[in-house]
Structure 1
């Protein structure tokens, strides 16, 4: 008698990603109500990834949070908020992508809480350091340049990352 393994992702990382998405949505929504729908869509996509194991929904989570950060930046949100929103989008996507991979390899029933905790701590740490360094570079090299320049710089970085990943 064989037992089939449930290949859905573990819930812990998915819930952590939903929390990150909701924090980003709240932060971005304080400065632009137009960014809030993107955050809501990101939370729905994160829940879809968590409960159905859809890798595309994990990518959509990051994309929606990124778009919310871009909208808030274009509409005048402070630079630190935009950078935090973009960093949060990458962290949420990474947490969900890792959860889907764990689900595919080990299944939902496996005890992966320690691995998820270590991955989440590393992801948040790297996201925070990169965001802080990006903000610091912007402050040093800003020189009165408009926020739109930062938005297009971030779009270029995402496009480059996307091309290199393919």
Structure 2
């Protein structure tokens, strides 16, 4: 009697979590600037496709497009608060998609992974929230409503957030 082959697709919880986080990132970026929001929306679609196709490279390209969308929204004068929320949402969407691919490869889709995905998402959301608090506090203290300074601080925040997630 042969055992059926394991389904190595990402768990549904990770795919849906990534989709929700990507949608939140897109909506937040659209509140800051419609063009930037549209670019972040394309990134969310690319992250979903990368997750479903189990393609880490597509995830990397997707998050890169999302960062470009955030930069476009910041350059065009988008408000800082929705851009920070969009940055956290984008990072969370990418991380959940990447984590889902790894989980699918290691334990399969049938394994009970909801708790693992929820803890992973919650921990990363907490790290993102703390990073946003630090970046936003620094922005309020030092920026003085200067758009170039805001963009520089947002980029610094993105680097800090990426470091915290890894």
- Is the TM-score greater than 0.5? yes
Higher mean alpha-carbon deviation, 55-64 vs 107-116, is at 55-64
Distance 2:153 2:28 in 1: 21
* Contact residue 132 and residue 157 of structure 2 kept, 8 A: no
Question: In the alignment, which residue of structure 2 is the partner of 1:137?
Answer: 138
Q: Deviations over 1:44-64 (max 9, x none)?
A: 112213322111222233222
Question: In the alignment, which residue of structure 1 is the partner of 2:151?
Answer: 151
Q: Secondary structure at the match of 2:44?
A: helix
Structure 1: runs of 5 or more not aligned: none
* Contact residue 32 and residue 77 of structure 1 kept, 8 A: yes
Which residues in structure 2 correspond to 1:57-96 (within 5 Å)?
57-96=58-97
Tell whether 2:116 aligns with 1:115: yes
Higher mean alpha-carbon deviation, 96-105 vs 60-69, is at 60-69
Structure 2: runs of 5 or more not aligned: none
Question: In the alignment, which residue of structure 1 is the partner of 2:105?
Answer: 104
1:145 Cα deviation (Å)? 5.9
Q: Give the TM-score taking structure 2 as reference length.
A: 0.84
Distance 2:3 2:44 in 1: 36
RMSD: 2.3
Question: How many pairs were matched up?
Answer: 162
Distance 1:128 1:157 in 2: 11
Question: In the alignment, which residue of structure 1 is the partner of 2:128?
Answer: 127
Q: Secondary structure at the match of 1:35?
A: helix
1:99 Cα deviation (Å)? 0.8
Q: Give the TM-score taking structure 1 as reference length.
A: 0.84
- Moved >6 Å (runs of 4+): 159-162
Distance 1:37 1:76 in 2: 15
